[in-house]
């Protein structure tokens, strides 16, 4: 993790004393080459090198651009970086996160070790400088994540170099205070990414449950139900998925009681936790199957959310439920055509054992409602490949029985940078999962609207139809195959920041 700090400086320019002895200074430049006061001062110190650099090349201060002046004349540093922020009036918290992430990647690519960023507004942004600095730091910290614990032979020039970034501004204390809450989110994001990145021989139902137990240090109450307890509860839908694995299935229950009224009904978040998905008897193709270690991304996000809320002492009662299974094809595995009975009493004809996530969620959703009587229920799951066809990898699919909740999630998505897009539900889709021999089947009658019929299946396990419910299909956003502004290639934590924003804005 990049070490983040904040330092005071009282005048435009470069007179801030950096605690980290930086080898790089960074100044902000807006679109059309408009320089921040610090950049103007640096231009004078370098004999006009900053203005000349902006005028002579393609760098125009656009969003995401960065320009490095190596060994700048008149400055006691190895490099001066000009960071483009785009249009001033559009430079908000989310844009600052993106810029901070781009900066961290750029500095690391330039082999910088320590940097000082001089943060000054250019005059038009409506956001306080302290808030902008905190979100620049937030973005840099998110982008600085690495999962390299299994590398043992990497050469020094292949290792990340960036160790620390110091943000210098007039009100460093306010920036540090603002960042202190964001830092808790960073910690939750990192742990979630670690969980999703781990191979399936390391993270399986029991070890995931063990990781969840660590949240007790933050005040979260954690319970773990095994096969014996779930059998007694009648969770035939969840248990059917895991019966072909040597790893025992688990149901993890996490409670955070931060609300002013301890008896107040909680918010319930439910996650699909398939720690590895072979597809079962309906086995997947070998090509790409190694990626199925991240089929527990929904449960990982619920874990991360609980860590974030507890870490920042959120004033709300929340319960997180994670159904943890491994879907394997041994001699005891569930077969296509089997009929299972869910905790709700409803029967399910399993036509495809690779449509297993909805079977796990069916019992986890019912358990959360039966036991906790929540104010609302939101589930997250890497549920369908169809959602990737529909929406690509830029946003999650959103399904809901409640317009107000759907609008809240959409707003939280825009603010957090984890976007969602609402898709429809309706009787015409629901009829497609009717079964001839059971109450329902676990896939639609044909291949059309696969994400929607999956959501319709889940809706049948919302006990009280008046309970606000939303389903987030995160199959396209749980993992990234390319570097993003605030995340390197690999595991994402989609849902942690989104749902933390939802809770903070609407339910605390």
Contacts of 58 (CB under 8 A, 6+ apart): none
| Fold (CATH) for 3-175 | 3.40.220
Which of 34, 184, 250, 358 is flagged as catalytic? 358
Domain 187-397+463-506: CATH architecture, name and number where available: 3-Layer(aba) Sandwich (3.40)
Question: Could you tell me which of 226, 197, 199 has the C-alpha nearest to residue 210?
Answer: 226
Alpha-carbon distance of 170 to 130, in angstroms, equals: 8
Q: Where are the chain's structural domains?
A: 3-175, 187-397+463-506
Token code pair at residue 400: 């809901």
Token code pair at residue 289: 């199957």
Which of 63, 284, 414, 415 is flagged as catalytic? 284
Alpha-carbon distance of 448 to 37, in angstroms, equals: 57
Whether 143 is catalytic is no
Residues of the chain with pLDDT under 50: 12-13, 15-18
- pLDDT (0 to 100) of residue 123: 67
Q: What's the maximum distance between 2 C-alpha atoms anywhere in the chain?
A: 82
Do 187-397+463-506 and 3-175 fall under one CATH topology?
A: no
Distances, alpha carbon 114 to alpha carbons 14, 81, 104, 166, 489, in Å: 16, 12, 10, 8, 23
- pLDDT (0 to 100) of residue 124: 65
pLDDT digits (tens, 9 = 90+) for 262-294: 778 999 999 999 999 999 999 999 999 999 999
Whether 422 is catalytic is no
pTM value? Answer: 0.95
Contacts of 386 (CB under 8 A, 6+ apart): 449, 450, 451, 454
Q: What is the DSSP letter of 17?
A: P
Question: Could you tell me which of 155, 39, 23 has the C-alpha nearest to residue 78?
Answer: 23
Hey, which bits of 226-367 come out as E strands?
A: 250-257, 267-277, 317-327, 338-341, 347-350
pLDDT digits (tens, 9 = 90+) for 453-484: 999 999 999 999 999 999 999 999 999 999 99
- pLDDT (0 to 100) of residue 399: 98
């Amino acid at each position: 993790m990049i070490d983040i700090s904040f330092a005071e400086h009282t005048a435009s320019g470069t007179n801030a004393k950096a605690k980290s002895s930086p080898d790089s200074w960074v100044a902000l430049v807006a679109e059309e080459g408009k320089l921040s006061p610090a950049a103007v001062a640096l231009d004078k110190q370098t004999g006009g090198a900053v203005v000349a650099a902006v005028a002579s090349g393609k760098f125009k201060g656009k969003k995401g651009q960065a320009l490095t002046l190596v060994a700048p004349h008149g400055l006691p540093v190895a490099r001066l970086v000009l960071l483009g922020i785009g249009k001033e009036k559009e430079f908000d918290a989310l844009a600052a996160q993106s810029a901070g992430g781009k900066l961290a990647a750029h500095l690391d690519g330039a082999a910088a070790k320590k940097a000082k960023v001089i943060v000054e507004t250019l005059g038009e942004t409506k956001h306080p400088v302290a808030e902008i600095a905190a979100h620049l730091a937030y973005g840099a910290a998110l982008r600085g994540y690495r999962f390299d614990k299994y590398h043992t032979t990497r050469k020094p020039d292949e290792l990340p170099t960036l160790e620390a970034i110091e943000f210098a501004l007039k009100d460093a204390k306010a920036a540090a205070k603002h960042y202190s809450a964001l830092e808790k989110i960073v910690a939750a994001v990192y742990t979630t990414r670690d969980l999703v990145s781990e191979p399936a021989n390391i993270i399986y139902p029991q070890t995931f449950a063990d990781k969840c137990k660590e949240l007790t240090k933050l005040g979260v109450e954690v319970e773990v139900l095994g096969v014996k307890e779930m059998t007694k509860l009648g969770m035939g839908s969840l248990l059917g998925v895991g019966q072909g694995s040597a790893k025992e299935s688990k149901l993890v229950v996490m409670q955070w009681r931060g609300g002013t009224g301890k008896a107040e009904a909680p918010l319930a978040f439910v996650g699909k936790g398939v720690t590895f998905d072979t597809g079962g008897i309906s086995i997947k193709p070998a090509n790409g199957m190694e990626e199925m270690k991240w089929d527990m991304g929904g449960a990982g996000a619920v874990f991360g959310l609980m860590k974030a809320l507890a870490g920042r002492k959120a004033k709300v009662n929340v319960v997180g439920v994670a159904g943890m299974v491994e879907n394997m094809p041994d001699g005891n595995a569930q077969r296509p055509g089997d009929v299972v009975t869910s905790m709700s009493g409803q029967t399910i004809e399993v036509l495809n054992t690779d449509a297993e996530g909805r079977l796990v969620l069916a019992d986890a959703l019912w358990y959360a409602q039966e036991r906790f009587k929540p104010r609302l229920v939101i589930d997250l799951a890497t549920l369908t490949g169809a959602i990737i066809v529909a929406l690509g990898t830029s946003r999650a699919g959103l399904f809901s029985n409640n317009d107000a909740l759907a609008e809240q999630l959409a707003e939280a998505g825009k603010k957090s940078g984890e976007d969602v897009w609402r898709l429809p539900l309706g009787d015409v889709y629901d009829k497609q999962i009717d079964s001839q021999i059971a109450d329902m089947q676990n896939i639609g009658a044909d291949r059309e609207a696969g994400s929607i019929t999956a959501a319709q299946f889940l809706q049948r396990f919302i006990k009280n139809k008046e309970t606000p419910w939303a389903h987030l299909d995160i199959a396209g956003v749980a993992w990234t195959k390319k570097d993003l502004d605030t995340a390197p290639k690999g595991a994402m934590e989609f849902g942690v920041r989104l749902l933390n924003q939802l809770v903070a804005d609407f339910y605390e």
